[in-house]
Amino acid sequence: MAIIQSFWNTLTQLAQESGFAGFFADGGWKNIIMILISFVFMYLAVGRGFEPLLLLPISFGMLLTNLPNADMYHPEFWEYYEKFEEDAGTVNDHYIDYQRILEHGGLLDILYMGVKLQIYPPLIFLGIGAMTDFGPLIASPRSFLLGAAAQGGIFFTFVGAAVLNMSAADCASIAIIGGADGPTSIYVSSQLLTKHSACSVGTIALAAYTYMALVPIIQPPIMRALTTKKERSVVMGQLRPVSRLEKLIFPVLVTLIIALMIPSAAPLVGMLMFGNLLKESGCCDRLVKTAQNELMNIITIFLGVTVGATTQADKVISLDFGKVMLLGVVAFSLGTACGLLLGKLMYVLTKGKINPLIGSAGVSAVPMAARISQKVGQEEVPTNYLLMHAMGPNVAGVIGSAVAAGVLLAIVK
Amino acid sequence: MAIIQSFWNTLTQLAQESGFAGFFADGGWKNIIMILISFVFMYLAVGRGFEPLLLLPISFGMLLTNLPNADMYHPEFWEYYEKFEEDAGTVNDHYIDYQRILEHGGLLDILYMGVKLQIYPPLIFLGIGAMTDFGPLIASPRSFLLGAAAQGGIFFTFVGAAVLNMSAADCASIAIIGGADGPTSIYVSSQLLTKHSACSVGTIALAAYTYMALVPIIQPPIMRALTTKKERSVVMGQLRPVSRLEKLIFPVLVTLIIALMIPSAAPLVGMLMFGNLLKESGCCDRLVKTAQNELMNIITIFLGVTVGATTQADKVISLDFGKVMLLGVVAFSLGTACGLLLGKLMYVLTKGKINPLIGSAGVSAVPMAARISQKVGQEEVPTNYLLMHAMGPNVAGVIGSAVAAGVLLAIVK
Amino acid sequence: MAIIQSFWNTLTQLAQESGFAGFFADGGWKNIIMILISFVFMYLAVGRGFEPLLLLPISFGMLLTNLPNADMYHPEFWEYYEKFEEDAGTVNDHYIDYQRILEHGGLLDILYMGVKLQIYPPLIFLGIGAMTDFGPLIASPRSFLLGAAAQGGIFFTFVGAAVLNMSAADCASIAIIGGADGPTSIYVSSQLLTKHSACSVGTIALAAYTYMALVPIIQPPIMRALTTKKERSVVMGQLRPVSRLEKLIFPVLVTLIIALMIPSAAPLVGMLMFGNLLKESGCCDRLVKTAQNELMNIITIFLGVTVGATTQADKVISLDFGKVMLLGVVAFSLGTACGLLLGKLMYVLTKGKINPLIGSAGVSAVPMAARISQKVGQEEVPTNYLLMHAMGPNVAGVIGSAVAAGVLLAIVK
Amino acid sequence: MSDLRFMFAQLLSSNIPPDRTDLSAETIVSVVITGISVVFIGLIILIVLVSLYGKIFEGINKSAEAKAKAKAEAEAAAKAKAAETEVKAAPAPATAPAPAVEDGIEEEVVAAIMGALSAMYAGSGKKPVLKGVKAAKPRRSAWSAAGIMDNTRPF
Amino acid sequence: MSDLRFMFAQLLSSNIPPDRTDLSAETIVSVVITGISVVFIGLIILIVLVSLYGKIFEGINKSAEAKAKAKAEAEAAAKAKAAETEVKAAPAPATAPAPAVEDGIEEEVVAAIMGALSAMYAGSGKKPVLKGVKAAKPRRSAWSAAGIMDNTRPF
Amino acid sequence: MSDLRFMFAQLLSSNIPPDRTDLSAETIVSVVITGISVVFIGLIILIVLVSLYGKIFEGINKSAEAKAKAKAEAEAAAKAKAAETEVKAAPAPATAPAPAVEDGIEEEVVAAIMGALSAMYAGSGKKPVLKGVKAAKPRRSAWSAAGIMDNTRPF
Ligand code: NA
Ligand code: NA
Ligand code: NA
């Protein structure tokens, strides 16, 4: 009898601690909706091929974090709170208690440390740098202008978000989606967002990667609308070959100039250029191979699943999530448009030597945006090879986004 | 003269701080015995091929940790102690001082953080999931029953350990050896064991991997004893092919059901299924490759050597180590028997369509246990291919052990 | 108007926070010099092929750390300071506040934790062990003597540094450069150097890797000066083949003896031998492959760039940097000479059977020093193959340096 | 709700502290029964659900297979046509002369080899041609699966 | 100097706290203008510098190329001579009979293949011989670069 | 015991604090002598032990070699017999027709190549056949070992 009682007790207790019970707790229904949303993103990643390398881990993190009582991620551990620091005699209002996280954190809390300590995005940039060929940009430095113009999307979206009365951190985090660069978005949002923010790092990342996957759908109509048939038909010549020494000096020069101008961009730009220098050096192949592959893959897995884990039901199931998605696509479209418009200006100034279609590649989203320029160009002149010319603005867009991120971080803090 | 004095002083001091001196200190002789035991396990790993990927690192960790004064691992840093937490106004009696570990920890302390923070076992499960084909289990879902039955060994061994008057944490840690799953054993024992426990994580892992290596010796006699020749001669037909979509839904479904039922099993099951989803998605190959190989290898090295480091002389050289080894083999045998007995029941219920030999594969120990089913089956009917059918219970056993681990963690805490 | 004012304010603020402004701050000119020095080392690495795998990351870290206001590395976080520890009732004068580093550290602070926690050098030794063949040393154990003699450079340089009135930590850190072993130098210096020290970990590493790259220039003149033509012409016979079992026992034996004698050498020697045991076991190939490649490459990147980051302008631009470079080359030369002199002694004792040229290989700098022995030997007898014989002292030198490091750590603390 | 849960937890308090040694017979038996039941309940739920969707998919698969086949053929034709004009990724073997692959070798294998070769050529602007791949007589898939796991997964 | 900077920062204080919601129109517009200007200023500086050194190098490269060619030939001759007596690294293809490499295949590619083969042979004391490497008709480098990135870099 | 050690340590106190600058001549000389002696003592102990077991093994090896050879042959025969009925790991080259390997190429090398190929085939249920491996004229093992290290190990 006592055994049956004890068995029943244990069973009841397990039932109460189960996730099913959690669904009936306050706000538990939101978790169900979030799990359904995670299924949607899994479908987009696997079924439709939307940036699966990132969206699949993110969506699985979203599933795990919304399983009640699984305690794999604790948002409350990551809220800044105030602490009186005796040594300094001041109040630190950005205090995160790492001792508590190490003691009581779940698996995803521990892995999320790499996001909050700001090491995953720069290390992914290390790998990207080790894969990127800046040759087209060095051969045609004016591409930098297009990479700068396309960042206009970021700043105009800042206006939009501010008009919707969002906080400065939200505005900056949403705006950076227009940079079309995942690690940069995560880098900025994980530094700025607080517990009072409407967004989470995860929703920003979801929007960024979703729209990056949608580049082939979002960009072409804008490109066709803003350019004339004549402009799109411009055939561009071959780029000059770039010597090894130029490729070696480039990463050092960019690091120096950008990091000195905008120190807050230094970790991203510095690591991007470090990876590129390793690659161009030609004598560190074993390091380059690891930076491009294993290191990047390990961090991608950790980054994806933990960023997904930040999509708390409270953050996502709200009008604000809609705002993020809406403003995200606005940011993207504005960026594309800004790039194209400067392209048109350059078309005029160079008396028709530059095809404005390469301007839309300035949003980054390497290399898809450049391929879209190529494709839309070929619709007019099938033998026109714009890809090489679009790669310049494309990689300039990566640098441009990192600079824009640095500016936002310097202003909002 | 002063120089000779100074030289002599330095030399004497070095001699006193040397490990040789440590052997003459209190209990120093135990270290010698432990080092000898580590040689035995090295021999088993290298000479006899007993799970060398884990037993070799574990035994080397055992050697390093028992070198007196090398201070590569400090068991006292990992003992829970009590701390009054001013913020909460309560006493935290599971306090581990990570600041101290970072400041004064040795190499193996730092690497052991990955065990204590519970990240190595789930990440190894990520790799295992990325390597596992759940097809046979999906094709024949009743295999789950055999995977469940074989966990009986875990719970019956709990009784045995309790009868020997061991603490609840010891009982649960020893019992989980019956799950025949290394990371699960380490996951459970590193959470439950305290300084008052008779076992260490290392002894549990040593026992688990030793018996996993002994599967070809332990299982066949039990299999032959519990089944009739007629039962062993059952030839099973081919399994139906499983579609990609089914394989894609499976990991999500299992995560959902198991993590909702037993939240404490979520990290293990979640990562196992995350790895499997990445694999089955077919679009994340670079992540899958890294999860299967480099990430897993790095963690295996760190896990093995640090788990070995927990085998303190005091823990191992005692009657309790004997108990662990004894109860471990009991747990294994009981698990095998439970699987076989349910196999026999299914043989009866399906009127002879199921060969009970596939039941013993339910202990996990993938894929060795399934190959033993195959081999013992072929002793009767040389053309009988049971392997495919045994893979179902075999991978079900992995899930089953993780669930059992979750139950133990939920009950004992 | 207000907008223009606000724009101007923001711009002014950004300008003031920029790195350019930092150059005009106190001591800002030193950063410019440091950046120029980093370019020199980049040139040496890429243009002249000086150990590029390490010198390129180190020099890039040097660049990043000297960009004003980038805040990627904070030397003040790593200065030991005093803390009264209430629990113990004593003052800890080696306190590093990891909570602060996690909260406020830059990218390179976070990655530098692996240096300060003493995990990178032992893990690199794991990879080196997994690549090293100790066969020539086992076949000719007297090579150990030459590996020991070449460590004389370490201790004689200690005298030199002490005479220049440097602190004990500086003396030991500079002396260890004579060991011709990068990870060992970093291991020792990162433990000993304090804020009062004249050197930084980075300057020690720079000197060590520079001189390792210069081995083909530094060693031959010393070798020719200290040996006679007759000695250099000694042709040595073939080494006996070494059985697998001998190769298996060797790493265990060395770990045991060295770690017991000098416990502070245990992490380096232990990991070196752990890697070697994994390799020789022949049954852990997947772990060996990862230890040799991906794990080692990841750590090399992190180690290089963070060690470079410790080269603060204040530390480097001083007379002390000159002292380090000067004493470093003295240490190297003395080590070479000591090895040769013992080689000469052995030549006499064996009645001309040993070619003293293999003595200079005892400095380690594997495998370059051994190849120099070969090359200088061939100048006399073109068909003389000393390489195999020089590999023995060469790998013995690695063990010898680790032992010497242990001795220095035991004495200075 | 959480108050209620707390109250219940107090009432029941069936957790066993880790350091407790003298476990009562009831406790022990209760652990065993609960443990086994919960494991079985969990896995039985999975059996039901997996069987269920297995049956659903068996139907879907058959019609899907037919569709997929038709679609794949159409796509292949379209691709072949587009190949001259469209931008192609370097490791896409479609535009290179198809390597002579023995019947029964999965495409992934060929892709894997192509991938490895392409990786070597990365950045060179050249494209390797895979001339042919031959496989030994295929054994039953489960053998090799077990074999692979045996070499890769004794964790 | 740092005092001055602190005073200025106080005076200006144009930082926006992250949680601030009701941003004034001036602030917003100022952020936009500053942001765009700074990005453009930064990248224009880069344009100037990159163009500058691009022009410098165009001159240097031409003379350097000629020199390098002459030097490489001289070195190759010297190496061939030294090959019998000098210590050679295993993966150094120079001493082995030169593989028959199709014109237009970069040396790095061949080196990569040699490297892969040598790694397999590591420790064996044997040296593989690369008999020949053939490339498919090279496509324009940018295609394959984009293709590779497409497969490796959607981050 | 530990009390005793503490007392001794106090008495001797020959540790040098890291920040100490004006080291006395005795201290310095003592560091040098101690350091060199300890390094020599340690390595001499290793010489003695390694020589010792070297001699022991030389004897054992000779008889073991003979035994091992006989055993290996017996095993190979047994394996060949068992090959039809026993479960075999995929990358086990034993059951496939033995590749034509040039004399003098170590088995590990062949295994490495087989491993690489098998990894590509992983999951496909196919098994690659290695038709043959040729090595260039073997150089002395130490050359290639040094060469490999030179490329992989300048740390
Ligand atoms: Na961008
Ligand atoms: Na199991
Ligand atoms: Na050395």
Q: Considering only CB atoms, which chain F residues are within 8 Å of E120? A: 109, 112-113, 116
Q: What are the Cα distances from residue A281, in Å, to A292, C306, E115?
A: 15, 19, 18
- C407 at the B interface (CB within 8 A)? yes
Average pLDDT, chain C: 90
- Whether C328 contacts chain A with CB within 8 A: no
Q: What are phi and psi of A325, to 5 degrees?
A: -65, -40
Residue D119 has pLDDT above 60, yes or no: no
pLDDT over 80 (residue C217): yes
Q: At what angle do helices C152-163 and C168-175 cross, to 10 degrees?
A: 140
Q: What is the pLDDT of residues F95-147, one digit of tens each?
A: 333 333 333 333 333 333 333 333 333 433 444 444 443 333 333 444 445 44
Which CA distances in Å does A377 have to A226, A228, A371?
A: 13, 11, 10
For residue F75, is it within any domain?
yes
Same domain, yes or no: A212 and A359:
yes
Residues of D with a Cβ under 8 Å from any A Cβ are: 1-2, 5, 8-9, 12, 14-15, 25-27, 29-31, 33-34, 37-38, 85, 87, 123
Q: What is the pLDDT of residues B87-141, one digit of tens each?
A: 667 777 778 999 999 999 999 999 999 999 999 999 999 999 999 999 999 999 9
pLDDT at A374 over 80: yes
Residue-wise pLDDT for A1-52, tens only, equals 677 877 888 888 888 888 888 888 877 888 999 999 999 999 999 998 888 9
Percent of chain C with pLDDT over 90: 63
- The pLDDT value recorded for residue C138 is 93
Task: Find the CB nearest E47 among A142, A154, A212.
Answer: A142
| pLDDT tier, F14 (very low <50, low <70, confident <90, very high otherwise) | low
Do the domain assignments include residue B175?
Answer: yes
Beta strands at F132-133 and F100-101: parallel, antiparallel or unpaired: parallel
Q: Kindly report the nearest CA distance between residue C114 and chain B, in angstroms.
A: 10
* Range from A213-227, A395-409, D139-153 carrying the lowest mean pLDDT: D139-153
Ligand 2 being an ion, which residues bring their Cβ within 5 A of it? B 179-181, 364, 397, 401
Closest-CA residue of C relative to E86 is C375
Ligand nearest to the CA of C394: 3
Q: Average pLDDT of chain B?
A: 90
Query: Which of A104-113, C108-117, C177-186, F19-28 is predicted with the least confidence, judged by mean pLDDT?
Result: F19-28
Residue E60 in domain: yes
Question: What are the structure tokens assigned to C176, written together?
Answer: 């260890």
Choose the final residue of a domain: B60, B84, B110: B110
Residue D66 covered by a domain: yes
More confident residue, F49 or E101: F49
Is E55 within the bounds of a domain?
A: yes
With CA atoms as reference, report the closest residue to A64 among A328, A319, A382, A307: A307
d(CA E123, CA A165): 67
**What's the pLDDT at B82?**
78
- Point out the least confidently predicted range of B29-43, C111-125, D78-92: D78-92
Comparing A45 with C240, the larger pLDDT belongs to: A45
Question: Is the pLDDT at D26 greater than 90, yes or no?
Answer: no
**Residue of chain D whose Cα is closest to the Cα of B176:** D35
Distance from CA of F130 to the nearest CA of D (A): 9
Rounded to the nearest angstrom, the minimum Cα separation between E41 and chain A is 9
* Single residue among A57, A86, A110 that ends a domain in this structure: A110
B245 near A CB under 8 A: no
Judge if B139 and B36 occupy the same domain.
Answer: no
- Measured CA distances, A11 to A28, D21, D35, E75 (Å): 21, 22, 9, 81
Residues C253 and C127 in one domain: yes
Which of C53, C83, C110 represents a domain boundary (last residue)? C110
Same-domain pairing of C59 and C158: no
Domain-located, residue A41: yes
Boundaries of domain holding E78:
50-82
Closest-CA distance of chain C to residue A153, Å: 19
Q: Please give the pLDDT value at position A308.
A: 92
CA distance E153 to chain A (A): 7
Q: Do B198 and B337 fall within a single domain?
A: yes
Q: What is the tens place of the pLDDT at every residue in C336-378?
A: 999 999 999 999 999 999 999 999 999 988 888 999 999 999 9
Chain F residues touching B385 at Cβ < 8 A: none
Average pLDDT value for residue range B301-328: 86
For residues B271 and B380, state if they share a domain.
Answer: yes
Residues 6+ positions from B335 with CB-CB distance below 8 Å: B150, B151, B152, B153, B154, B178, B179, B180, B362, B363
How near does any CA of chain B get to the CA of D116, in Å? 12
Query: Could you tell me if A382 and A265 lie in one domain?
Result: yes
Percent of chain A with pLDDT strictly greater than 90: 62
Q: Residue F64 has what pLDDT?
A: 61
Model pLDDT for residues C60-82, shown as the tens digit of each residue:
999 999 999 898 999 889 988 77
State whether E5 and C24 contact (CB < 8 Å): no
Query: D9 lies in a domain?
Result: no
Structural domain count, chain F:
1
pLDDT score of B362 more than 60:
yes
Q: Other CB atoms closer than 10 Å to residue B85's CB: what's the count?
A: 11
In a domain, E16, yes or no: no
What contacts A360, CB < 8 A, 6 or more positions away?
A: A150, A219, A222, A223, A336, A339, A340, A343, A369, A372, A373
B128 contact residues in D (CB cutoff 8 A): 153, 155
pLDDT digits (tens, 9 = 90+) for A339-373: 999 999 999 999 999 999 999 999 988 888 999 99
* Percent residues over pLDDT 70 in chain B: 99
Q: Which two tokens stand for residue E87?
A: 């210590």
CB-nearest to B13 from F12, F26, F37 is F12
Nearest ligand by distance to the CA of A398: 1
Expressed as residue numbers, the domain containing A133 is 118-412
Q: Which among A169, A212, A407 has the least Cβ separation from residue E38?
A: A407
Counting ligands in written order, which one lies closest to the CA of residue A393? 1
Q: Within 10 Å of residue B98's Cβ, how many Cβ atoms?
A: 22
Please, which pLDDT band fits residue F68 given cuts at 50, 70 and 90?
low
Between B129 and D94, the higher pLDDT residue: B129
Strands (E), chain E: 100-101, 132-133, 135-136
Residue C251 Cα, ligand 3 centroid: separation in angstroms?
18
Stretch D41-63: mean pLDDT, rounded? 84
Q: Is B106 in the same domain as B132? A: no
Q: Which amino acid is at B343?
A: G
Which of D148, D150, D153 should we substitute to test contact with F (largest number of F Cβ atoms within 10 Å)?
D148
Please list the ranges in chain E whose pLDDT falls under 50.
1-13, 82-143, 146-154
Q: What's the pLDDT at A85? A: 73
pLDDT band at A300 (very low <50, low <70, confident <90, very high): very high
- Give domain status of residue D72, yes or no: yes
Answer whether D22 sits within 8 Å of B165, measured CB to CB.
yes
d(CA F112, CA F131): 14
User: F142 and C391 in contact by Cβ < 8 A?
Assistant: yes
pLDDT level of residue C296 (50, 70, 90 thresholds) = very high
The answer to whether position A82 is within a domain reads no
Q: What's residue F73's pLDDT? A: 67
Residue D138 clears pLDDT 60, i.e. is over it: no
User: Average pLDDT, stretch F25-40?
Assistant: 87
Bridging pattern class, strands A90-95 and A81-85: antiparallel
Nearest by CB to D16, from B124, B292, B412: name it: B412
Whether residue B43 sits in one domain with residue B139: no
E35 touches chain D (CB under 8 A): no
Among F137, F138, F145, beta carbon nearest to E123: F145
β-pairing, C81-85 vs C90-95, is antiparallel
In whole angstroms, what is the distance from residue E51 CA to residue C48 CA? 27
- Contact (CB<8Å) E53/A212: no
Q: Which one of A53, A67, A110 has the shortest CB-CB distance to B260?
A: A67
What percent of the residues of chain B are helix, what percent strand, and what percent coil, each to the nearest 5? 75, 5, 25
CB pairs under 8 A between B and C: 121
Predicted local distance difference test score (pLDDT) of residue E151: 45
Contacts of A45 in chain B (CB under 8 A): 281, 283
Q: Are residues B104 and B157 in the same domain?
A: no
B83 domain residue, yes or no: no
Q: d(Cα C154, Cα C171) in Å, to the nearest integer?
A: 10
Please report the pLDDT score of residue A13 as a whole number. 81
F145 interaction partners in chain E (CB closer than 8 Å): 90, 123, 125
Q: Which of C76-80, C260-264, D16-20 has the highest mean pLDDT?
A: C260-264
Q: CB-CB: which of C3, C6, C375 is closest to E87?
A: C375
Q: Are the beta carbons of D87 and A374 separated by less than 8 Å?
A: yes
Q: pLDDT value at position E92?
A: 35
Whether A176 and A34 map to the same domain: the answer is no
Would you call C99 and B103 a contact, using CB atoms and an 8 Å cutoff?
no
Record: contact C270-B102, CB cut-off 8 A: no
Contact A3 D29 (CB under 8 A): yes
C-alpha to C-alpha distance for B14 and B5, rounded to whole angstroms: 14
Task: Tell me the nearest-neighbour CA distance from C304 into chain A, angstroms.
Answer: 11
Ligand at shortest distance from the CA of D43 = 2
Is C46 a member of any domain? yes
Which of F21, F46, F141 lies nearest to residue C144, judging by beta carbons? F46
Q: If you measure from the C-alpha of residue A390 to the centroid of ligand 1, how many angstroms do you get, rounded to a whole number? A: 13
Rounded distance between C-alpha atoms, residue C28 and residue E103, angstroms: 53
Max intra-chain CA distance, chain B: 95
Examine the domain organization and report whether A60 and A199 are in the same domain. no
Domain total of chain C: 2
Tally C-beta pairs within 8 A across A and E. Answer: 174
Task: Mean pLDDT check: name the lowest of A253-267, B367-381, C357-371, F12-26.
Answer: F12-26
pLDDT per position as a tens digit, C282-291: 999 999 999 9
